Chains A and B, each alone.
Chain A
Amino acid sequence: MDSLLLARLQFATTTSIHFLFVIVTLGLVTVLVGLQTAWVITGNPKYERLTRFWGQLYVINYVLGIATGIVMEFQFGLNWSGLSRYVGNVFGAPLAIETLVAFFLESTFLGMWIFGWHRLRRGVHLALLWGVALTAYASAFWILVANSWLQNPVGYEVRDGVAHLTDFPALLTNPTLGMAFGHVVSAALLTAGVLMAAVSAGHLIRRTTDYALHRTALRIGLVTAALSITMVQGFGFAQFAPVGSVQPTKFGGGDEAQATIAEWTTRFGPGDYTPPVLASAGLGFMIMIGFTLGLLWLLVPLLWRDWIIRLRFPLWLLLLALPLPFVAAILGWIAREVGRQPWIAYGLLPVDQAVSPVGAPVMLTSLIGFSLLLGTLAVTNWVLMARHAARGALDPALGRPPGQPLHLRTEPTFA
C-alpha cells in the first residue's frame, strides 16, 4: 500500500464520519431555532419541553461533529502538505475565514446556550441559539467555498509553480458552489426532519407517555422532511449543468471529456484521467434514495385527523426511513469527491503531488488509529443518542433547573 492511497482512505473515512454528524447539527439547529422562538413568543411550555428534548439530542450529536472536524482541519497539514504548499494561498483563505467567522463563534455561543438556561434572560438565551444557527450556516457556506474551489479552481494565477489569489469574488460566484450549498443545506433539513419524525414515530409505536409532545414533533418532522426533499431534488438536478460544464470528466465520457483528457495528457503527461466508477455508482444510488424519500409527500395527507398515527404502519415506514438520508449524503459526497479524481484541485494539482512525504507505515498507523478512535466514538455517540431518544422528554439534563440533586435517578423512566 502506498501513502497516497492510505492518505485518501483516511480523508474519506474522516470526512464521511464528520458529515454524518454535521448534517444532523445543521438541520436540527434550524428546527430548534423554530421551537425555541415559538416558546419565547407563545410561552407554551410544550415548546420549551420540545426544545430541551431535541436540544439534548442536538448537543450530544454536536460532540462528534467537533471531534471529527478538528481532525479534518489538521489532516490537510498532516497528510496533504502539498495542498498548502502549492494552492494554500487561495484554498487556505476560505478555511481560515470559516474557523474565525463561523466555528469560533458557533462553539462559544453553544457553550453559553447550554449553561445559560435559568441564568440568562429568555431573549438573550434565544439570541444565542440564533447565533449558533447563523454561524453554523456560515460554516457550511465557507467550507463549500473551499470545496468548490477544489472542484473548479478560479480566481488565481500560477507564478513559480505556486497559485496566488487574484480575484476573491470569483470564489464566491464559482458555478460549483451555489446549487451545491442549497443541496447540502436542504439535505441537512431533510435529515433532521426524518430524524424527528422517526424518533417520534418510535415513541408513538411504543405508546410511551407524552403523546401530545411526540405527535407535535412527528408533524414538524414530517412536514420539514417533505418540504426539504423537494428542495434537495431541485438543487440536486440543478447542479448537473454547471458541474458538467466545468468538470467534463465527472459524469463519464462524451466528446468534451475526451478533449479535456487529451489536453491534460499534453500538459501533465500520459495518465489515467477518468474518475473511478465508484463516483457514478454513488450518484445513481443517491438519486434512487432521493426518489424514494420523495414518497414522504404521500404521508403528509395522513396528518389529517392523525390517520398517520392511527394506521400505525406509516409510523413504521418513517422509522425504517431513518438511515436513508445518511446513506444518500455519503453517496452524494462520494460522487462529488471521487468524481474529481485524480485531481485534488481539478485540472491544476494531481493528488499524488499533494500528498505529504510521510512514509506508508506512519500513514497506516494514523489511518488505523484515527479510524478506530473516531469510529468507536461515533458508535458510542449514536448509542447514547438512541438511549436519550428512547428515554423520552420527561427530564432531559439540558435545561434542568439548577439545585436539583445530581443523581436524580439511575434508571430511565418509561411510563
Chain B
Amino acid sequence: MELTWYVLLGLFFGTYLVLGGYDYGVGLSLARNADPGRRRAALNAVGPFFLGNEVWLVAAVGILFGAFPVLEGELLSGLYPAVLGALAGVILVTAGVQLRSRPTHERVRARWDRVVVVGSALAALGWGALLAGLLQGVPRDTDGHVVGLSHLFTPFAAAAGLAMVALVAAHGATFLTLRLPTADAAPAGRLARRLLPVAITAVGAATVVGLLSERVRATAQQPLAGVLLAALLVTALLVARAALSRGRPGVAFAATAAALALPVALVGATLWPYVLVSTTDPGASLTVADAAASAPTLRLLGWLAMPLVPALLGFQLMCWWVFRGRTDGRAPVYW
C-alpha cells in the first residue's frame, strides 16, 4: 500500500519535472531572444499546456500531504531554503507567463519576460537543490525534527541545482524544436544542440561531486542503483543530442523528458527503503513505511485514486491530443 503511494508520488513529481521542466526551459530561452514576436511565439508554443503542467506539482504535494504527512512536514521545513527558492520561482513563472501579454507596450512585456527568466532559473535551482538535499541526508533528531538549515548549503546541492537549470534549458529548447513552426524550429534546434553538451557536463559534474561527498556516500543505501541511473541520465542526453543531429525532434524530446524524470527515480531508488536519511542519528532515519499515513487514510485515498488517476490522465491526454503538432498561423495566441 505504502509502496503504491510512494510510486504515485514519484510519478506525479517526476511528471511535473518533465512538463513544468519545459515550461521553465522555454522561460529561460526568453533570455536569449531579443525579438518580441519570437518570445511571444515561444510562450504560446507552451500555451494550452501551461496550466495543465503546473498542476502536477500541486497534485504531488497533495499526495505528499495526504499519504505521507510526516514526510511533508519534515521535508518542506527541513529543506526550507530550497523549497522557498523553488516556490518563489514557480510563482514568478505562473504570474509572468499569464500576465506578460496583458499590458500592450513591448517594454512592459519585456520586463515581464525577465520575471519569467528569473523565475524559471529559481524554480530549477530550487528543485535541483531539494533532490540533492534528499540525497545528502538531513540532520534529523530522534525527536523527529530537522535541526538547522546550513546542512543544505554544500557543493553537491549547488552542483545539482545548476545541473537542473542546464537540464530544463536543454529540455525547453528541444520542446521548441518539436513544437514551433518549421521555419522557427531550426534556431531552436541549434540552441538545443548547444545546450545538451552543457547539460551533460553539468550532470556529470554533479555526479562526480556527489560521489566525492562523504555525506552522499553515507546516505546512499543503494549506491549501485544511483550510479546506474546517473549513467542512464547521461545516456538519455546523448541520445537526445544524436536524435537532434539526425532531425528527429520527437525522439530527442522523449529522451530529454526521460532525463528530467530520471532524477526522481534516482533519488527514490538510491535511498530505498528510506525516504529521509538522518546524517546525525541512524535511528532517526525515516523509511517509506514510517512516513506514510496510517492504513485507514491510505485505504480511503486508494478508493478515490483508482477511478480518478485514469480520469486525470485522460483529460491531460485530451489536452495534448487537441493541441498536438506544430503551432502555426491558425494557432490561438493568448500568453
Q: Which residues does A use to contact B, with CB under 8 Å?
A: 59-60, 62-64, 66-67, 69-71, 73-74, 76-85, 88-93, 95-101, 103-105, 107-112, 114-120, 162, 164-166, 168, 356-359, 362, 366, 369-370, 373-374, 377, 380-381, 384, 388, 397-398, 400, 402-403, 406-407, 409-412
Contacts and interface: CB of A to CB of B under 8 A. Distances in A.
A108 B66 contact: no
B73 A84 contact: yes
Contacts of A100: 59, 62-63, 304-305, 308-309, 312
B319 A93 contact: no
Interface string B277-316: 0000000000000000110110011001100110110011
A403 B332 CA distance: 8
A358 B80 CA distance: 9
B322 A70 contact: no
A115 B76 contact: no
Nearest to B293: A89
7 contacts: A89-B293, A96-B65, A97-B66, A100-B308, A105-B315, A108-B316, A377-B95
A85 B70 contact: yes
Interface of B: 37, 40, 47-52, 54-59, 61-67, 69-70, 72-77, 80-81, 83-84, 87-88, 90-92, 94-95, 98-99, 101-106, 144-147, 149, 293-294, 296-297, 300-301, 304-305, 308-309, 311-312, 315-316, 318-319, 322-323, 329-334
B150 to A, nearest CB: 11
B322 A93 contact: no
For the residues of B in contact with A, the DSSP-based class is helix
B98 A84 contact: no
Nearest to A68: B91
A70 B57 contact: yes
Given A108-B316, A111-B50, A402-B332, A88 B65 contact: yes
| From A64, A83, A100, A164, residue with most partner B Cβ within 10 Å | A100
Contact of B334 (A66, A82, A114): A114
A366 to B, nearest CB: 6
A84 B304 contact: no
Contact of B52 (A95, A111, A406): A111
Contact of A84 (B58, B69, B300, B334): B69
Contact of A168 (B59, B70, B300, B329): B300
Contacts of A409: 104
Given A108-B55, A357-B77, A412-B104, A115 B65 contact: no
5 smallest beta-carbon distances between A and B, as pairs: A88-B69, A96-B66, A99-B62, A81-B73, A77-B76
A403 B83 contact: no
Contact of A384 (B88, B99, B329): B99
Contacts of B309: 100
A158 B247 CA distance: 61
| From B294, B318, B319, B334, residue with most partner A Cβ within 10 Å | B334
A67 B91 contact: yes
B95 A403 contact: no
B144 A96 contact: no
A165 B300 CA distance: 9
Contacts of B304: 97, 100-101
Contacts of A166: 296
A108 B319 contact: yes
Contacts of B101: 397
Contacts of B305: 100
A362 B66 contact: no
Contacts of B146: 357
B315 A108 contact: yes
B59 to A, nearest CB: 5
B63 A96 contact: yes
A345 to B, nearest CB: 13
Given A63-B94, A93-B301, A397-B101, A77 B72 contact: yes
B333 A406 contact: yes
Contacts of B75: 77
A99 B73 contact: no
B297 A165 contact: yes
A369 B315 contact: no
B83 to A, nearest CB: 6
Given A70-B87, A108-B51, A77 B65 contact: yes
Nearest to A408: B104
Given A67-B94, A81-B73, A101-B308, A89 B62 contact: no
B102 A73 contact: no
A342 to B, nearest CB: 20
Contacts of A384: 99, 102-103
Contacts of A98: 62
A165 B83 CA distance: 29
B65 A95 contact: yes
| From B55, B84, B300, B311, residue with most partner A Cβ within 10 Å | B55
A81 B74 contact: yes
B73 A82 contact: yes
B58 A112 contact: no
A112 B69 CA distance: 32
A101 B55 CA distance: 12
A81 B286 CA distance: 15
B91 A71 contact: yes
Contact of B55 (A81, A92, A104, A119): A104
